[in-house]
Amino acid sequence: MRYWLMKSEPSEVSIDDLAAMPDQSVAWYGVRNYQARNFMRDQMRVGDRVFFYHSSCEEPGIAGLAVVASPAYPDETQFEKEGKYFDPKATRENPRWFNVDVKFERKTPLIGIGELRKHPQLEKMRILQKGNRLSITPVDPSEWDYITKKFLDRAD
């Protein structure tokens, strides 16, 4: 099992939106960064655990827990000619962009990025590295354990 941090703008899909969706699941669509795409396509597996992170908002931070619920498959938004995620180089025979389904596990108290930065045990966490803008990053098992035990009162 692997661990991930996946960023979503709450105005696009928040942890509350995910909890309210049919089957409490959403396709993680619209990723247009090759490294983040490769994480989904090549490394994510059903059952991997996810920190659901609110980004580009008043208080960015971990807002909940989720789980990878499907293998990677082509992101349909790349084929929508009028959509903001359209990619004219993508074809159904050779898709360029992939997504996975992410399923809600639970909402957590918000763990802000400022709070995460206070803990030396997390200093190597990718979300905390200068210049990191990836929407999906791997989380080391020791970081996962530290955050869940320190902030969520139980090892998830």
**Which pLDDT value is given to residue 133?**
85
The pLDDT of residue 156 is above 60: no
What is the DSSP secondary structure assignment for residue 39, as one 8-state letter? Answer: I
Cβ contacts of 45 within 8 Å, gap of 6 or more = 1, 2, 68, 71
With cut-offs at 50, 70 and 90, classify the pLDDT of residue 153. Answer: confident
pTM of the entire structure? 0.94
Count the Cβ atoms, other than its own, within 10 Å of residue 93.
Answer: 5
pLDDT at 76: 97
Half-sphere exposure of 53 (CA within 13 A, CB side): 24
Backbone angles phi, psi at 35, to 5 degrees: -65, -45
Q: Is 3-134 in CATH node 3.40.50.2300?
A: no
Name the burial class of residue 120, with classes exposed (0-12), middle (13-18) and buried (19+) by CB atoms within 10 angstroms of its CB.
Answer: exposed
Tell me the per-residue pLDDT of 86-140, one tens digit each, with 9 for 90 and over. Answer: 999 999 999 999 999 999 999 999 999 999 999 999 999 999 998 888 999 999 9
**pLDDT value of position 154:** 56
pLDDT at 31: 95
For 16-54, how does the pLDDT look when each residue is reduced to its tens digit (9 = 90+)? 999 999 999 999 999 999 999 999 999 999 999 999 999
Query: For the chain, what are the domain ranges?
Result: 3-134
Q: Which residue has the tokens 């903001």?
A: 84
The answer, yes or no, to whether residue 62 has pLDDT greater than 60, is yes
> Band of the pLDDT at 58, cuts 50, 70, 90?
very high
pLDDT, position 155 = 47
Exposed / middle / buried, residue 104 (Cβ in 10 Å: 0-12, 13-18, 19+): buried
Locus of tokens 């619920």: 69
With CA atoms as reference, report the closest residue to 111 among 49, 53, 50, 48.
53
SS (H, E, C) 72-101: CEECHHHHCCCCCCCCCCCCCCCCCCEECE
